[in-house]
Amino acid sequence: MKSAVVLLPGLNRDRDMIAALTKISGTPPVTVWQTDTEIPDVDLITIPGGFSFGDYLRCGAIAARMPVMRAVAEKAAKGVMVIGVCNGFQILVEAGLLPGALMRNTSLKFVCRQVKLQIANANTMFTRRYQPGQIIRSPVAHHDGNYFADTETLARLEGEGQVVFRYAEGTNPNGSINDIAGIINSQGNVLGLMPHPENLIEAAHGGSDGRALFESALGIAA
């Protein structure tokens, strides 16, 4: 399985994502720059976290309009897997590849801590190595992770199993509706989540709860 990492000015978790993909798949991902109009033939495209374009206008808004995102949309339409983490999630919703919006945390504070996540749907290409309902740990670090969707969209997400990760055990750090931490698109090949699974993949991180997400996507046995 081959993977790619999208690079944009202001992202700062790109090296973490590259390290995680390299360690888990055994092969370094290719990197694509914001102005690239084509993405090489890969199975998985990741958009890391950070503060693309300084979070100007709205988080992810400028990045979502860069040429590379048109290429990501074309690949996604062909069924290539896409994972957006944190700012990557914000970019995916701004690009219209995922529904809803990510708003300022209700606390108005930047949150940087560990939360608990429930696997709300273990029957996706990103979560099949987890058990349904399993509780895992994950770091979060964001100021705008408060997921919002209108009533109709929310009902569809919940009804179709598109809510994949939910903050568990009272650890919702941002006030997101229905404790939503991560969702997939209706085709099931685009995932966005605020937590950082790439920062919990080995003993040196204090645990490997996030590893199964990448093993699921990359088709690697645990």
Partner 1 sequence: MIKARITVTLKNGVLDPQGKAIEHALSGLGFGGVGQVRQGKVFDVELAESDKAKAEADLKAMCDKLLANTVIENYSVAIT
Binding site for partner 1 (CB under 8 A): 57-58, 61, 65, 93-94, 99-101, 103-108, 146, 148-150, 175
The question of whether 59 is a catalytic residue gets the answer: no
With respect to partner 1, which residue has the nearer C-beta, 67 or 133? Answer: 67
Asked if residues 210 and 180 have their Cβ atoms less than 8 Å apart, the reply is no
How far is the C-alpha of 211 from the C-alpha of 85, rounded, in Å?
14
How far is the C-alpha of 86 from the C-alpha of 63, rounded, in Å?
13
Catalytic residue among 86, 142, 143, 215: 86
With respect to partner 1, which residue has the nearer C-beta, 22 or 107? Answer: 107
**Smallest distance from the beta carbon of 62 to partner 1, in angstroms?**
8
* DSSP E strand boundaries for 12-103: 30-33, 44-47, 81-85, 101-103
**Smallest distance from the beta carbon of 60 to partner 1, in angstroms?**
10
The question of whether 143 is a catalytic residue gets the answer: no
How far is the C-alpha of 75 from the C-alpha of 45, rounded, in Å?
9
The question of whether 202 is a catalytic residue gets the answer: no
With respect to partner 1, which residue has the nearer C-beta, 81 or 98? Answer: 98
**Smallest distance from the beta carbon of 125 to partner 1, in angstroms?**
26
- Classified as helix, coil or strand, 130 is coil
- Residue 220: closest CA among 20, 5, 14, 4: 20
By annotation, the residues acting in catalysis are 86, 196, 198
